[in-house]
Structure 1
Amino acid sequence: MLKFLIRRILIAIPQLFALSIIIFVLASMMPGDALSGEIDPTVTGETLEHLRELHGLNDPWYEQYGRWAGSILTDFDFGRSFVYKMPVIDLIGDRMLNTALLGVLTLLFTYLLAIPLGITSGRFNDSLIDRAVGLYTYVGFAVPSFIFGLIALFVFGFQLGWFPTGGSVTPGLQTGTFEYYISKLYHMILPALSLALISTVGTVQYLRSEIIDVKHKEFILTARAKGASEERVYNRHILRNSLLPIAAFFGYEIVGIMGGAIFIERIFSFPGMGDLMVRSVLQRDYSVVTALMMMFGTLTIIGTMLSDIILAIVDPRIRIK
């Protein structure tokens, strides 16, 4: 297991290096440059050229990349936001907690919904309830998260008024109070539930397939032949063997939720890293864009690696020798 873990970490290092190059090059290919959203239209061409030279924007991309990567590795410095006039790491830090809390709540909703639906659908396959769950998963696969978010916002936010339509907390509440945290949770419920209803579909389908496959295994038939009750067969044998592989998808769930959060946060005006990402792209704030893309990419690699490690623990046969 230790050899597998070390090898998986070593594989992640060149992945991060390649990811950083791709992100930096793609960001540099965006229209305009880092000064486009900051310079007054009346500034002369000579002044603009001087500023670009001063900030090193006329240097070859590999020199700019070297400075950027070196600052990250030595000082964890992602540069300074041209739009917000503050260090990027401080700007992201203000939003990171909101995105993390939204992700945790979304994961909680995802498993609270997916596991009962998957178990019911798999146990009573080909029944009416199985067809209803199947219809839900097919719709979930077909509808993008941002479309579902817009529908949820319109129905439960604007029409019914059950949930707030934007922000992360009610204005005027004092930070750290009980009312403040309740308000923060209340503002996260609808975006988290909207994202979870789409994130559950893959887990539901996988769990259903696992249960159907396991309940036809020979050891299940043997347990029934020995006179074990149906509840004991499902609780002690089928569910135990079906739920273990679900743990291996925990990392992939994190990856999917982080990707969906970019659109959900924007739709609900939720001040997280996803909303900041979209705003920074529109404002051509290159330092923030590259930092956020690098963080999202790093989380994706870590999530994938986490799933591989959990799967190796659950099923030792897949470990790399």
Structure 2
Amino acid sequence: MWTFTIRRIFIMIPQILMLSIVIFILAKMMPGDALTGLIDPNIGPEVLEQQRERLGLNNPWYVQYYDWSTRALKGDLGQSFRYKMPVTDLINQRMVNTILLSILTLIFTYIIALPLGIISGRYNDTLADRMITGYTYLGFAAPLFIFALLMLFIFGFRIGWFPTGGSVAPGLTPGTLEYFLSKLRHLLLPSLSMALISVVGTVQYLRSEIIDIKQREFILTARSKGASESRVYNHHIFRNSLLPIAAFFGYEITFLISGTIFIENIFSYPGMGELFISSIRQRDTSVVTALVLLFGVASILGALLSDIILSIIDPRIRIK
């Protein structure tokens, strides 16, 4: 397993290099630059050119990429033109909120998906299975941003059970119980909105695996030997059906990345997704480039994590 892991890590290096080049080029192809729309229109064009020259915006793209990549390797992702602060510090401020949102979403996803998938697969073709399958079909068809807007309207504005924006109530002292409860209350509605959509794939995977595995010969053999139904499901069917779920776990990170971008903007939640959209609007290319690179690296790491988890759960398919 260690050989496989090290080999996959070495494969990741050129992937990340190519990803960084593509992201940098696409960021430079955006209309305008960091100074567009942020400079007093009364300032002469010669002063504007001096600013671009000072910031290196007139250099060829490969020179700008080399300067950016060498600084990034040292932990310097540049300066935000909008916030007038280092990009690293700006991302660090938002990263905690996004990580908390992602973790809580994953917890809700598996708390909801595992029981639904087990019930649907074990009692397939029953009323319960049809209801769960119907829910998954609706989940596949419903766009995340539409569902999140509906959740915000009903439970935020109409009923008022949850806050409609922010990550914590103003005026609270960090570290206190009130601060923690307020933080949790602001997290519940965004994470539930994303989890209720993200569960549908996991439920369908688990249902299909359970239905397939319970018809295999080793399950029929276990039943013929007198094994109880609970033992058959807990020790044979459920354990083997977790293989695709384990493989799918790392790719959940990719969904969370795309999901948090929508969720954070809909719920005005100050995380990296909200920062990403606002930076695109403001043409803050240094922040956009750094965030897309982080999102891409997270997706690559998610694929690696899936392979490692799968090899741990089932040593028979472990790649040497």
Q: Report the counterpart of residue 233 of structure 1 in structure 2.
A: 232
Q: Secondary structure at the residue paired with 1:211?
A: helix
Measure how far apart 1:51 and its partner are.
0.9
**Where in structure 1 do 4 or more consecutive aligned residues deviate above 6 Å?**
none
**Cα contact 2:121–2:129 (8 A) shared by 1:** yes
CA deviations over 1:41-72 (Å, ceiling 9, x no partner): 21111111111111111111000000000001
Q: Report the counterpart of residue 115 of structure 2 in structure 1.
A: 116
Distance in 2 (alpha carbons) for counterparts of 1:44 and 1:144: 47
**Cα contact 2:243–2:314 (8 A) shared by 1:** no
Distance in 2 (alpha carbons) for counterparts of 1:107 and 1:319: 26
**Cα contact 2:34–2:282 (8 A) shared by 1:** no
- Identity across the alignment (%): 66
Determine if the alignment matches structure 1 residue 144 to structure 2 residue 119: no
Matched length: 320
Distance in 2 (alpha carbons) for counterparts of 1:41 and 1:317: 67
Alignment-mate amino acid for residue 188 of structure 2? I
CA deviations over 1:208-247 (Å, ceiling 9, x no partner): 0110011011111011112222222112221121124322
**Cα contact 1:37–1:285 (8 A) shared by 2:** no
Q: Secondary structure at the residue paired with 2:298?
A: helix
Q: TM-score, normalised by structure 1?
A: 0.97
Distance in 2 (alpha carbons) for counterparts of 1:64 and 1:34: 14
Alignment-mate amino acid for residue 30 of structure 1? M
Q: Report the counterpart of residue 36 of structure 1 in structure 2.
A: 36
Q: Report the counterpart of residue 6 of structure 1 in structure 2.
A: 6
Distance in 2 (alpha carbons) for counterparts of 1:88 and 1:53: 21
Structure 1 spans left out of the alignment, 5+ residues: none
Distance in 2 (alpha carbons) for counterparts of 1:297 and 1:244: 25
Measure how far apart 1:317 and its partner are.
4.3
Distance in 1 (alpha carbons) for counterparts of 2:227 and 2:316: 29
Mean CA deviation greater in 148-157 or 33-42: 33-42
Alignment-mate amino acid for residue 31 of structure 1? P
**Cα contact 1:37–1:284 (8 A) shared by 2:** no
Alignment-mate amino acid for residue 160 of structure 2? G
Q: Report the counterpart of residue 129 of structure 2 in structure 1.
A: 130
Q: Secondary structure at the residue paired with 1:249?
A: helix
**Cα contact 2:168–2:179 (8 A) shared by 1:** yes
Q: Report the counterpart of residue 21 of structure 2 in structure 1.
A: 21
Determine if the alignment matches structure 1 residue 187 to structure 2 residue 193: no
Q: TM-score, normalised by structure 2?
A: 0.98
Structure 2 spans left out of the alignment, 5+ residues: none
Alignment-mate amino acid for residue 157 of structure 2? F
Q: Once superposed, what is the RMSD of the aligned Cα atoms?
A: 1.1
Q: Report the counterpart of residue 71 of structure 1 in structure 2.
A: 71
Distance in 2 (alpha carbons) for counterparts of 1:277 and 1:43: 29
Distance in 1 (alpha carbons) for counterparts of 2:318 and 2:28: 40
**Cα contact 1:245–1:314 (8 A) shared by 2:** no
- 1:80-91 aligned at under 5 Å gives the runs 80-91=79-90
Q: Report the counterpart of residue 311 of structure 1 in structure 2.
A: 310
